[in-house]
Amino acid sequence: MRAGLYSMTIEQRKLADATVFPIGLGGMPMSLSGRPPEERSIRTIQAAVDAGVNLIDTADAYSADDRDTGHNEELIARALEGRRDGVIIATKGGHVRTRDGGWEVDGSPQHLREACEASLKRLRTDRIDLYQYHRPDPDVPYAESIGALKELQDEGKIRWIGISNADTGQIEETRSIVEIVAVQNELSLDFTSPLGKGEVAACEEHGMAFLPWGPLGGASDATEAAGRHRPVKDAAAAHGVSPQRVALAWLLALSPAIVPIPGARRVETITDSIAAAELVLEPDEIAAISQAAGVG
């Protein structure tokens, strides 16, 4: 595994039979409308890898619209040319963009197969490390969508399978069909539902990674003197770090299964996020932040 700035001193976390740095990188902000210049995005990805990050999350739908499908996958492939060794790329299928930049779902087995084949080409690989069903399609039985991923895995096109935006019932249904190694759901100061509804606990119980998307939600509110997340601001001041770094350190303290994947558009942002892996919050700080976030 690639050794980075932090990777030799920070305790790693588990993803299937691999170890990963506690903080991953989410690629979405680099490819939506209003995205940063490509060169800056490539520097951001490379800075993350150089610092020890070895999990990068993307999706075919991370693009400006349907004419731009796969933009983020292609960007990541270019950034990692000659640097791919030891880096796990997680991508997703089942979410699609519309011409006007909107979002729709397509969980049909035919679409998932076509999407996976296209992702393989864009990522310049013959096997995707982690392929995740992006979002349930209400018009397609969940088992059919997961069955399509199992077929692709049986064919050697997928190493590991994960699911995203899934509840505990869908987690259990998926586990009855195929082994899954990760669940990627929203989790942040402002959205703690996976803690109360058991999604994080299910990952702990079954040895799966929980990959929070949008993990910095609410962190910017902590800069306000009277904001709901005042304990985050207080902890940031006490440690001399940003509220965003505290928010990620808090997530890491909640469960050993959690591996946040914050998005980034510039080197400075991901560098600050990565440093959360070495920030140790005091028990009373964790308790105060959790109480403010509504976590019992």
Q: Determine whether 62 is an active site residue.
A: yes
Tokens of 262: 């914050």
d(CA 53, CA 115): 26
In sequence order, the β-bridge partners of residue 130 are 90, 160
Amino acid identity of 125? Answer: T
Q: Are 229 and 289 in contact (CB under 8 A)?
A: yes
Query: Residue 13: helix, strand or coil by DSSP?
Result: strand
Amino acid identity of 222? Answer: A
Amino acid identity of 169? Answer: G
Contacts of 171 (CB under 8 A, 6+ apart): 163, 180, 183, 199, 202
d(CA 198, CA 61): 28
Please calculate the CA angle 33-37-43 and round it to the nearest 5 degrees: 125
Question: What sections of the chain are H helices per DSSP?
Answer: 38-50, 71-79, 109-122, 142-154, 168-175, 193-196, 199-206, 230-239, 243-254, 267-274, 283-293
Q: Single out the catalytic residue among 6, 62, 131, 142.
A: 62
Contacts of 44 (CB under 8 A, 6+ apart): 25, 30, 264, 265, 266, 267, 269, 270
Residues identified as active-site: 62
